[in-house]
Chain A
Amino acid sequence: MTDQIETLAPRFFGQRVKRREDPRFLLGRAKYVDDIVRPGMLFASFVRSSEAHARVRGVDIADALALPGVVDVLTGEMIADTSHPIRSDSTMPTWQGTGFPALAIDKVRFVGEAVACVVAEDRYAVEDATEAVIPDLEPLTPVANMDQATAADAPLIHEDWEDNHFIKRHVETDGFDEALDAAPHRSSHRFVMARHTGMPLENRGCIAEWDSAKGELTLWTATQIPHLVRTGLADALQIPENRIRVIAPDVGGGFGIKGHLFPEELSCSIMAIRTGRPVKWIEDRREHIIACIHAREHTHEVEVGYDDDGTILALKAHLQVDCGAYSVYPWTSTMDTGMALGILPGPYRIRNYYVDAESVATNKAPLGPYRGVARPAACFTIERTMDAVAEQLGLDPTEIRRRNLVRSDEFPYTSVTGLQYDSGSFIEALDLAMEKAGYQQWRERQQAAREEGRYLGIGVTTYTEQTAHTTQEFKKRGIPMVFGYETSMLRMDPSGQVTVNTSIHSHGQGLETTLAQIAADQLGVSLEDVRISFGDTSEVAYGSGTFASRSAVLAGGATDLAAGEIRAKLARIAAHLLEAAPEDIEFSGGRAYVAGSPDQGYSLAEIARMTHHNPQHIPEDEAPILESTRTYDASPGNGTFTNAALLLLVEVDAETGFVHLLDLVCVEDCGRIINPLIVDGQIQGGIAQGIGSALLEELVYDEDGQPLVTTLVDYLMPGTTDMPENFEIHHLETPSPFTVQGIKGMGEGGAIGPGALVASAVDDAIRPLTSGRVTSLPITPEKVRTLIEQG
């Protein structure tokens, strides 16, 4: 594959090209869903449950209906017979499934669950009317956490279930017990990651519009997965997919959170059909915090066996994930446990592994994917374990890792859970990070600071990031939809301009630029000659969308293949016109010409025009069309693995417990880089989110399942002053041997390491003050103070 473009010039691949999509955002002219206005549009708002667990006895809508401007009010009971709940079921053993109704019917199962939908002439009127709807809820005993959910006498959240588990899984290697028993040293640990979430700056929102003449529904919605939303809507509403058009316009951040079909999208669609008018819903931040997808609530118990050198001999783990009340579409509630179970051994040579993993249901908002999906928790656990073993053996934390990391000569390496790590630079990345940081100088700074009574600490983290996993991997996970491929449809029009219609969606990742770089290189045209189009299901071929660090690899691969096909056809036509051989035709500067004779050729605009308008000049066996549609699934399909090593220097204020981030060095290897500017931006943004997970972010519930965090005053996200004072990124480029162009995904990576990294650094800082260690995130000043007070 790679040799196809080696001869082309200019090469955009690998260049720091500034983003082609930026001007519309910088001018304030982007179109997010709330910027779209439809004629006669109504506004929707949701009445939400104030109870974590209750029986719905009725909903009084009479007062609301009588208010000025109110057009319609809908309850669960009214649509119970006509609309199917959203369902996403695993095919794996022990699975117990749920339907997630558009509006609660018999029971509510979390605070914030939608009970009724009101539509009115404007947003102010609909907010007034929402307060006038009175749900009659009979409280039931809430199941607010995993301890309550798994207790012997726990109330059932779903009454047709046997217990409060979505799924229980177990994996064990042969001879595990013997391997653990034979280990000279063993230690046990418990690690907790708090529930938090992606919190994109744009809340959710949609506009549903029903064309009663044609029987067609259009839904503009802030989503990462327009086609999957279309499929889910079709199933729930029993409308054929060719009568539904989903348009994802500009989307203000997703991070996995907007990769779902939501009940609100169903309700707005039903309301548009009932009223015959477009219905817009824009979520407010409080709704987003209590009623949207949450993430990452993991508790991990591990026992590790190791030898005198620190070689890990066996790892036993019990993983529990609080998945909230409902299975989410299309992922199911197996995603976090499955990913944690598969990736927990991380970049280390661990060959004896035993794991129990449970997805537990509680009366809380549903848990779904957020950047990294379980990898931040898995990384936290394995890295904290590495730090603990190092400390017990008196080894430097970088040394224990070097002794256990998969070496470069071992790739492709099949992990104990069957993941094939295609290529990587695990040890080289660590070495480079230490060199760039000046690790020894950091140790000297730490020593000097201690002598002044200041507490500096050094943290280290290494990880591998499974990216762009396709058919083989998702098939294994027992998800009903196997996200196996993406599609690009590339067309050169008679003017010689190129349009790439692609099934992914770009909402910050810069794919309008990187995909154009790939297409422009194949065809020897300028970036300005390439338009990237996505998000509208009526325009682009079917595909899954953007998640799991897959779009550059899969849509990039599909675009490269489709552009290559068009290039080959242009070469055949040019060769015919120039009486040359197709293999002698070269492309650059928007022209096709005979190699070595740039004057002897045609502009692509001339060839395109001739192809479409004067087909008598092209070879008889060529169709007069310049179009190619290619799918790409990045075989062998269990993903391509990016890796990174991070070092961090912090100072802990022993009096306040405040953690100050001084220097951060990241060495990342994501294979061949399409655009270093964009890759750096993704790493920085991911690390910033990870710093939020490490130090700030937590969705707190009380013992009754009431959310205590409901605004951004309570939910702290990193701001400009929370970032490290110095932040360096360095790259290694180990191509994937499998993917088109050797590209690996990298969108999620930054968010994986910081929890483990900051914990490692804080422990190192406060070691002189306490024997306690950080075992849970976020590391609030209060937790640091508690550790210090314990001594």
Chain B
Amino acid sequence: MNRHTVSFTVNDQPHEVEVEPRRLLADVLRENLGLTGTHLGCEHGVCGACTVLVDGQPQRSCLLFAVQLDGAEIETVEGLAADEQGFHPLQTAFWEKHGLQCGFCTPGFLMSSKELLERNPDPSDDEIREGLAGNLCRCTGYVHIVDAVRSAAEAIREEQR
């Protein structure tokens, strides 16, 4: 099969990969680049576990081919923080509010929430639920996730004050 060279940045690092046209962004992130924080739950665009930000917008990395992303800026969960000390307010809030159990869906929720709070820094609970309606979690029942996003929004607003 013919191969294409694609260049993009992931978490501000430039990358160039040579891929088959059918190769998914999720597989490139996980296998070519070793960024296994992005998880695949359904590979048909429903569960949202594989959500990453592409040019600031949440996208399902299981529904994108890598060849579509030449020149794109991609952000994954690994870009949020290098360690516990540098946690993004969302990571701190998910930890404090117990917004995760098995952790499989968590990277997708963090990335969707990040974009949500950039777009709407002071969301109501309904807006948080609406904003995260594209991500499934099978463990938590979402109550603590909504608590975490609300709390992170407060922390970010406080930081910016």
Which residues of A come within 8 Å of B, CB atoms?
18-19, 22-32, 34-35, 123-124, 198-203, 250-255, 284-285, 507-510, 677-678, 680-681, 683-689, 711-713, 717-721, 723, 727, 750
Contacts and interface: CB of A to CB of B under 8 A. Distances in A.
B12 interface: no
26 contacts: A22-B100, A22-B103, A23-B95, A25-B100, A25-B103, A26-B87, A26-B110, A27-B81, A29-B37, A250-B103, A252-B41, A252-B102, A253-B102, A677-B98, A683-B141, A684-B142, A685-B101, A685-B140, A685-B141, A687-B141, A688-B142, A711-B42, A712-B42, A720-B129, A720-B133, A723-B143
Contacts of B43: 284-285
A201 B133 contact: no
B45 to A, nearest CB: 9
A702 B79 CA distance: 47
A37 to B, nearest CB: 8
Question: In the complex, which range does the number of interface residues on chain B fall in?
Answer: 35 or more
Residue among B40, B130, B143 with the highest chain A CB neighbour number at 10 A: B143
Interface in B89-125: 91, 94-96, 98, 100-107, 110
A434 to B, nearest CB: 22
B59 interface: no
B84 interface: yes
Nearest to B84: A23
Contacts of A712: 42, 44, 46-47, 136
B39 interface: yes
A723 B141 contact: yes
A446 B141 CA distance: 26
Contacts of B128: 720
Interface in B116-157: 128-130, 132-133, 135-146
Nearest to A727: B143
A28 B77 contact: yes
Main secondary structure of the interface of B (DSSP, over half): loop
A750 B44 CA distance: 29
Given A201-B104, A285-B41, A721-B129, A255 B98 contact: no
A28 B76 contact: yes
Contact of B78 (A27, A123, A201, A688): A27
Contacts of A27: 37, 77-78, 80-81, 83-84, 91
Nearest to B104: A252
A766 to B, nearest CB: 26
Give 8 closest A-B pairs by Cβ, nearest first. A28-B37, A25-B103, A252-B104, A508-B101, A688-B141, A684-B141, A508-B102, A28-B77
Contacts of B49: 201
Contacts of B100: 22, 25-26
Given A27-B77, A727-B143, A719 B136 contact: yes
Contacts of B81: 26-27
Nearest to A19: B98
B20 interface: yes
A684 B147 CA distance: 13
A126 B129 CA distance: 39
B76 A713 contact: no
B102 A251 contact: yes
Contacts of A19: 95, 98
A459 B96 CA distance: 33
Contacts, number: 172
B36 interface: yes
A477 to B, nearest CB: 28
Contacts of A717: 136, 138
A30 B83 contact: no
A250 B105 CA distance: 13
A285 B133 contact: no
Contact of A681 (B91, B101, B103, B135): B101
A716 B56 CA distance: 28
A285 B44 contact: yes
Nearest to B131: A720
Interface in B1-48: 20, 22-23, 27, 30, 35-44, 46-47
A25 B140 CA distance: 14
Nearest to A723: B142
Given A25-B103, A26-B87, A26-B95, A721 B143 contact: no
Given A26-B91, A201-B104, A688 B35 contact: no
Contacts of B141: 681, 683-689, 718, 723, 727, 750
B44 A711 contact: yes
A712 B62 CA distance: 14
Given A510-B101, A721-B129, A721-B130, A202 B44 contact: no
A251 B145 CA distance: 20
A11 to B, nearest CB: 20
B80 to A, nearest CB: 8
Given A681-B98, A721-B129, A25 B106 contact: yes
B106 A26 contact: yes
B102 A201 contact: yes
A371 to B, nearest CB: 10
A689 B78 contact: no
A711 B140 CA distance: 22
B23 A124 contact: yes
Residue among B42, B76, B110 with the highest chain A CB neighbour number at 10 A: B42
B104 A684 contact: no
A678 B42 contact: no
Contacts of B46: 711-713
A651 B46 CA distance: 27
Nearest to A122: B31
